[in-house]
Structures are given as structure tokens and as C-alpha cells.
Amino acid sequence: MTHLHSSYDVVIVGGAIFGSSLAWWLTQTSGFDGTVLVIERDPTYQFASTSHTNSCIRQQFSSAINIKVSQFGAKFIKNFRAFMGNDPEVPHLALQSFGYMYLADDPEFAQTLLRNQQIQASLGAGTKHLTRDEIAAAYPFYQLDDILAGNHNLIDEGYFDGGTMFDWFKRKAKRGGVAFIHDEVVAITKSPDGKSVTSVTLKSGSIVACGTVVNASGPRALATAQMAGVSLPVEPRKRYTFVFDAADPLDRDLPLTIDPSGIHVRSEGKYYMAGSPPDDDPAVAYDDFGFDHSLWENKVWPAVATRIPQFERVKVINEWVGHYAYNTLDQNAILGAHNEVGNFIFMNGFSGHGLQQSPAIGRGIAELIAYGEYRSLDLTPFDYARIESQSKMIEQAII
């Protein structure tokens, strides 16, 4: 059992993918030798967004910073053991690059895809802008009567084992001296002038003094922020996943296909995986994981079978619902220090991009804590300041 000290240099609220990534990166950051505590309310991670992820990574964004973050993510995945100190116990991670296939059924979105491809290509991504005939030649199983164009990238874009990455972030952080405890922050105390957090109070009754507090609370980010007297436009929203078997399987990998209907579908080993938001997409309670069983029959399967007629006969073999930590302002990450409470740092609002962005953003926040600035990759476009000014970070490639 971890012995809890009365004070830590860095207290991380939430031990899922971002809390664990940051904890590990702090152990790797030159010049940082502070003490680190990670507080996790459910160490089984049963309901964490990390546990419900589809473990994919893409470079197909429209903003340069999101592209660069994922490019580092791909490099990290492909060189995972090297980043983990060439420990022979650490497995190699594979990146199965079947790519994302964005499909456009109207001229405006086709032009958006073309502009996005040009931005991605300028940064070294392998995205190709395809005509309907080019898509049909490469993937003849699609029904494309309504499609005008598409974007596809077969380089460093696809599926990886996010669970293993998460597991080793935790293991290596612990070996590097980070303390992980099963507890819950129930109160945050600030200095008399309100400009810094001085301590957190735990459900167990312990009070822990802290130099820096990091909000890595996933869909619960607002609840953590409110304890510090801070507001945050992050709420839990349901996202559904269905794994199905096909009586007539495809003869090649299915790219992660983003259909104009709003559903997405891809290969999953010998099976296939489809995902979708509900038609009505409100904020839900933190513990609401109730499943809408009509969604498959009424929305997901009709869209899948229309786009890929070979999927007329399929059988769902697994299904689950998880929560996006949904940033209602612009569906992009919220990072960095609060403008008034200077030692309260955000790692929030990833809106479904979290797992793929965790290597670069964990590294960046570790640098921010250690040096007061980003050194490897400038993450200031994600800064919390835009929340105060209501200045949206424009990203057109949101799923």
C-alpha cells in the first residue's frame, strides 16, 4: 500500500490515460525531481473513457497543431520500447495503418477535404484526396452513388493497442517514484488571495498540500474545476460502439470510414467495429451508462449496410457505451494554467481525441510544469485562455 505524504510538488486528479501519461513524462523530464501523486477514484477504470476507447490515431485534422500532436503520437507508438528506455519487458506496439476514409457527399465538404489534405500534406502527412472512381478502384465494396470525393491516408493512421500503452505509462511512472492512490478529491483549498491552490482534501479525510494541481479528470473535469472555483465547458456525452461479425466478410482491410450519416466503421481483426453518437446528444450524468438498444437497428446498421452492401447479414457480438469528455466550445483539448489560479493546470476536453493525443500532451504538460513553457511542441493553441475569451479553436475534422 502506498504511503501518503502530507505534501507533493504535483498532485494529479485522475489516473486514466492523461494522468498516467503526465506522471510518466514527469519522471522523464530533465531537471524535474519533484514528488508526484496521482489520485484515482476508481483504479479498475471500469467507466473511464480510456477503457471505452477505440484506440485509433489519425493525422487527418485541419489544424496544424492537431496534426503535429498525432504525428508525435505515431512516432511514440512505433518506437514505444525505445521511449520506455529499451526495457526488454516492454512490448513493441504495432500501428495497423488501414487509415481513415472520409467520404463527402456534397461539394462543400469535398472542398473542405481537399483543403484539409493540402494542409496535412504540407506537414508531411500521407493523405490523398480521391475521386469517387479512385475510391471504388481501391475499395470496390463501397456503394458510392452519393459520394463525390474522399480523403484517405495509409501512413501512420489506424489502430494501435492503447490499453498496453496506458498500462506501461502507469507501471513506469510507479517505478519512477510516482505515488498512485485509490481515493477521491472532494475539496480544493485556495490561498487567501485566490491565486493558487494550497491543498486538496480526499474522501478518506486526508489533506494533501500541493505545489501544482492538474485536472486530468476526463468527463468529470467540470466537477474537479468547480472545487477550485473554476468553470469549464466540458461535459460527459455518450458514444456507442458495436463489434459485429459479417456473414460475407470483406476481402481486404476496411479503413475507418467516416460516413456522411455520422457513423464510422472499420476492421477489427476478423470482425468489424462501428461507432456513433446518439441522435439526441445531451450531457449525461457522470454515472449514466444506460444503453440505447434501438440505436443499432434504427441508425448504425442501416447506414453501414447502405454504404457496404456486403454487410447486409451481420451479427453484433459486443457493444458498449462510453463517455466523451466533450468540450462544448470547440471540441478541442483545454490545456495549461488557469488565468487567475496559476498553479491549477488543465488536461481536459479531448472530445474523443484523447488516447492518440496523450503522448504529445503528456510530454508538453510535463515541460510546462518543469520549465514554465512548452519546449518540444508549442501547445499554446489549446490554452485555457481561449475559454475565458470564448475564442474557438477551429478544427473541421471532428468525429
Residue written as grid cell 446498421: 301
Nine-digit cell string for 172:
513506469
What's the predicted TM-score (pTM) here? 0.96
Three-state DSSP state, 72:
helix
Q: How far is CA 19 from the centre of its chain?
A: 12
Mean pLDDT score, 171-193: 98
pLDDT at 16: 95
pLDDT at 344: 98
pLDDT at 1: 59
Give me the amino acid identity at 300: V
Using the predicted structure, report yes or no on whether residue 399 has a pLDDT greater than 70: no
Mean pLDDT score, 220-248: 97
Nine-digit cell string for 269:
481483426
pLDDT at 54: 74
Model confidence pLDDT, tens digit, residues 236-262: 999 999 999 999 999 999 999 999 999
Find the range with the poorest average confidence among 31-40, 51-60, 87-96, 142-151. Answer: 51-60
How would you classify the pairing of strands 344-348 and 207-215?
A: parallel
Which one has a higher pLDDT value, 187 or 355? 187
pLDDT at 150: 98
Q: Would you tell me how many other CB atoms lie within 10 Å of the CB of residue 133?
A: 9
pLDDT at 146: 98
Closest-CA residue to 196 (of 230, 236, 168) = 230
Average pLDDT taken over every residue of the chain: 95
Three-state DSSP state, 217:
coil
